Amino acid sequence: MASLQVRGVHKTFGSTPILHGVDIDVADGEFLTLVGPSGCGKSTLLRLIAGLEEISGGEIQIGGRRVNEVPPKDRDIAMVFQNYALYPHMRVSDNMAFALEMRRESKTKINARVRSAAAILGLEPLLDRYPRQLSGGQRQRVAMGRAIVRDPQVFLFDEPLSNLDAKLRVAMRAEIKDLHQRLKTTTIYVTHDQIEAMTMADRIVVMRAGVVEQIGSPLDLYDHPANVFVATFIGSPAMNLLPGELADSGGAIELRLASGQRLPVPPEFVPAERGAGPAVHLGIRPEHLEIGGDGVPATVVVVEPTGSETHVLARIDDGGESVMIGVRDRVSLSPGEPVKLRPRFDKAHFFDVETGVRISA
């Protein structure tokens, strides 16, 4: 195992910049997830760490050693790809043993490593099969086994579950997390699926357009997003954003929504810093938007029962925004039905309209 440092890393393809000075520290034994929309640079960063792409600027260290000029085979990393990358003409055992054979390890050591990895991943009955005889989940376990036998300092996963169906993805998420908890190997995992990131990672790096937007634990990012992008990217359903202005009303502060509706803001939740001006976005997660009381009038548009909870899409009256409400209890609501919506200000956030940055209370 080893720590990993990314210092001011830039990557340019021709005249097109992809990464703009990325800084990340990964602790020894940590499970770090890189998440963001397609094209944000997360897979490019992983390939730079692996040595599969040449770095344009900055420095990468693995275990305190600068590896910018070190070839991939000498970086002591193992990578698991999205498409498994198994040799179709080799049996499972041979696929898993291949890297060790290239290193000219002894037959005894190779067999012991393969058997150990197969036991960890439940692959023992499959060792004599060929990849074409395996399911997608089994192939992915073989790819993971091939990485395990190398006993690397760092595991790199590049969207390894994106080719699997929804049920199998959930099962494989649990397998990978359990594997990390047993092996304690430093792991960097790339995904565009924020649910994967939330459920698996010790810490998450949220990226957009080649820039790190925020780094933190899953719940830290969920509860304290640094800006509008992180707030709306992390969480499903996404955080509601209501445009409005903070204004003084007889000595008290109220939020005047774009629809004309007014919400009194409790003094303890009024932002101390108003940003560039009174214009703000109120960010409120669906489960923190309550139905009933003396809230803002709205009209139900769609009701989506999911079993464990109900999602209600409603539109604020007088031409206001659409919002999603998450209700744990079963509710009997119909499209067109009037409701009152009350945000929990102890769970809400204000964001500066111009910068998108969260404004602290």
Kindly report the pTM of this predicted structure. 0.90
Final residue before a domain boundary, out of 233, 262, 288: 233
Mean pLDDT across the chain: 91
Six-digit token pair at 88?
């179709």
Per the model's pLDDT, the better-predicted residue between 308 and 360 turns out to be: 308
pLDDT at 274: 61
Range of the domain at 79: 4-233
Over residues 350-354, mean pLDDT: 91
Among 55-69, 73-87, 193-207, whose mean pLDDT is lowest?
Answer: 73-87
CATH number at residue 32: 3.40.50.300
Vertex 178: Cα angle to 132 and 169 (nearest 5): 45
Over residues 226-236, mean pLDDT: 95
Same domain, residue pair 220 and 318: no
Give CA–CA dist 134/86, Å, rounded: 11
CATH number at residue 318: 2.40.50.140
pLDDT of 276 over the 60 cut? no
What is the β-pairing status of strands 240-249 and 279-284? Answer: antiparallel
Same domain, residue pair 268 and 202: no
The backbone torsions φ and ψ at residue 110, rounded to the nearest 5 degrees and listed phi first, read -60, -50
Same domain, residue pair 74 and 216: yes
Give CA–CA dist 192/206, Å, rounded: 10
Same domain, residue pair 195 and 96: yes
Final residue before a domain boundary, out of 179, 211, 233: 233
Same domain, residue pair 220 and 283: no
Same domain, residue pair 147 and 14: yes
Which residues lie below 8 Å from residue 248, measured CB to CB, with a gap of 6+? none
Q: What are the residues facing 191 on neighbouring strands?
A: 35
| Residue 67 banded pLDDT, cuts 50, 70, 90 | very high
Q: What are the residues facing 215 on neighbouring strands?
A: 205
Q: What are the residues facing 117 on neighbouring strands?
A: none
Same domain, residue pair 208 and 244: no
Same domain, residue pair 38 and 132: yes
| Residue 108 banded pLDDT, cuts 50, 70, 90 | very high
Give CA–CA dist 143/160, Å, rounded: 9
pLDDT of 22 over the 70 cut? yes
Q: What are the residues facing 61 on neighbouring strands?
A: 5, 66
Q: Nearest Cα to 297, choosing from 319, 267, 329?
A: 319
Same domain, residue pair 123 and 194: yes
Which amino acid, one-letter code, is at 155? F
Final residue before a domain boundary, out of 198, 233, 268: 233
CB-CB neighbours of 143 under 10 Å: 24
Q: Identify the DSSP state of 357.
A: B
Same domain, residue pair 194 and 249: no
pLDDT of 272 over the 90 cut? no
Name the domain count of the chain: 2
Same domain, residue pair 188 and 301: no
Same domain, residue pair 317 and 168: no
